[in-house]
A = this chain, B = another copy of it.
Amino acid sequence: MTRLSAPAEIGGPNRRTVLAKPVEGIAQAEHFALDTATVAAPAAGEILVENHYLSVEPAMRGWLADKSNYSAPIGIGEVMRAIAVGKVLASGDPAYAEGDIVTGWFGWQEAATVGVDKVIRKVTETDLPVSLSLGLLGLNGLAAYLGLTIAGEPKPGDTVVVSTAAGSVGSAVGQIAKILGCRTVGITRGGAKMALCRETFGYDAVLDYAAEDLEAGLAAACPDGINVYFDNTAGPISDAVRQQIAVGARIVVCGTASISSWDPVPQGPRVERDLLTKRARMQGFLAFDHADKSAEAFATLAGWIREGRLAWREDVLEGIESCPDAIAGLYRGENMGKRLIRLR
């Protein structure tokens, strides 16, 4: 018995994952509920999208936090905010036609009738798997490519360290840095992810943050210091990396996966002296801010994918019933690669 969704149709059922109660820390299955609404016809300026894949990402924790963040909080009873990819079934806007494949803010639901301002982009790489538009050809690839090149400024020969090295952003960063002529060092956890980092993502060195003295491992793996640190974790992993940065290092702050709650703000060693003695910088980066560079970035990434120079891993859950526990699972570290929920 498949758990996938039936085709969507106007007036038919639309199963949705809604926020059931306020979240503190990491959202668990109990924080969500499944309900069923009705698929609405699009008005002028709207489109009806049948979702094929829903995205699950660490940043969802921030979207669910009720404290100040870079996006508005999600209300109780509202559909969980998520990026999805799907097919346009009906269009009230001349820019979109039935059959177009689009990604956008379509939420954790089977179908979305939304204003066209919710569309992120029309997917034009129809020769490549559609799920890639939520990974390497989506926000993750964009964060990796633009974060690394704009905030990281890697130069050939630089040593680039990546935390969550096997994750969907991290693995892209590691491979892009390699393509750009850097030496890459990945930090991950467990033998399976370490093997993936070495064999599939081509890191020059891989460290297990839980199994070894990370500072000593980094010192051995980075004899000339670390020029770029692409940070998806924050916390003690990043504190260890910061001890080994080279003069002029660039730290790209892209995620804070190791911090389970920012309320209250956790304490850690102050960073000012490390930054001053190494004339280093730490910079927060959000790909959303660089929309003007996304077309060029996607073209570059798609080219590398077609040339077989960029690998990826997906962790595909099936059916909308997989949604409620999907974020908690990410933070349990159970996924290998980009976590997606396949609906169709």
Question: In the complex, which residue of chain B has the Cβ closest to the Cβ of A264?
Answer: B269
**Which A residues lie at the B interface, using CB under 8 A?**
62, 68-70, 151, 231, 234-235, 238, 253-256, 259, 262, 265-286, 289
Q: Which of B68, B235, B278 contacts A277 (CB 8 A)?
A: B68
- Please measure, in the bound complex, the distance between the C-alpha atom of A69 and the C-alpha atom of B276, giving whole angstroms: 9
- Please measure, in the bound complex, the distance between the C-alpha atom of A115 and the C-alpha atom of B254, giving whole angstroms: 47
- Please measure, in the bound complex, the distance between the C-alpha atom of A268 and the C-alpha atom of B273, giving whole angstroms: 13
- Please measure, in the bound complex, the distance between the C-alpha atom of A281 and the C-alpha atom of B270, giving whole angstroms: 15
User: B273 touching A282 by the CB < 8 A rule?
Assistant: no
Q: How many copies does the complex hold?
A: 2
With contacts A259-B270, A270-B234, A270-B259 known, is A275 near B284, CB below 8 A? yes
With contacts A267-B269, A267-B270 known, is A276 near B262, CB below 8 A? no
Q: Which of B266, B277, B281 contacts A283 (CB 8 A)?
A: B281
User: B282 touching A275 by the CB < 8 A rule?
Assistant: yes
User: B268 touching A256 by the CB < 8 A rule?
Assistant: no
Q: How far is the CB of A143 from chain B (nearest CB, A)?
A: 11
User: B275 touching A279 by the CB < 8 A rule?
Assistant: no
- Please measure, in the bound complex, the distance between the C-alpha atom of A265 and the C-alpha atom of B240, giving whole angstroms: 13
User: B234 touching A277 by the CB < 8 A rule?
Assistant: no
Q: Can you sample 12 A-B contacts with CB below 8 Å?
A: A70-B276, A151-B281, A234-B270, A235-B270, A254-B276, A256-B273, A259-B272, A266-B270, A276-B284, A276-B285, A278-B284, A281-B283
Contacts of A266 in B (CB 8 A): 269-270
Contacts of A256 in B (CB 8 A): 272-273, 276
Contacts of A265 in B (CB 8 A): 269-270, 273
Contacts of A277 in B (CB 8 A): 62, 68-70, 284
With contacts A68-B277, A254-B276 known, is A282 near B286, CB below 8 A? no
User: A286 touching B276 by the CB < 8 A rule?
Assistant: yes
Contacts of A238 in B (CB 8 A): 272
Question: In the complex, which residue of chain B has the Cβ closest to the Cβ of A256?
Answer: B272
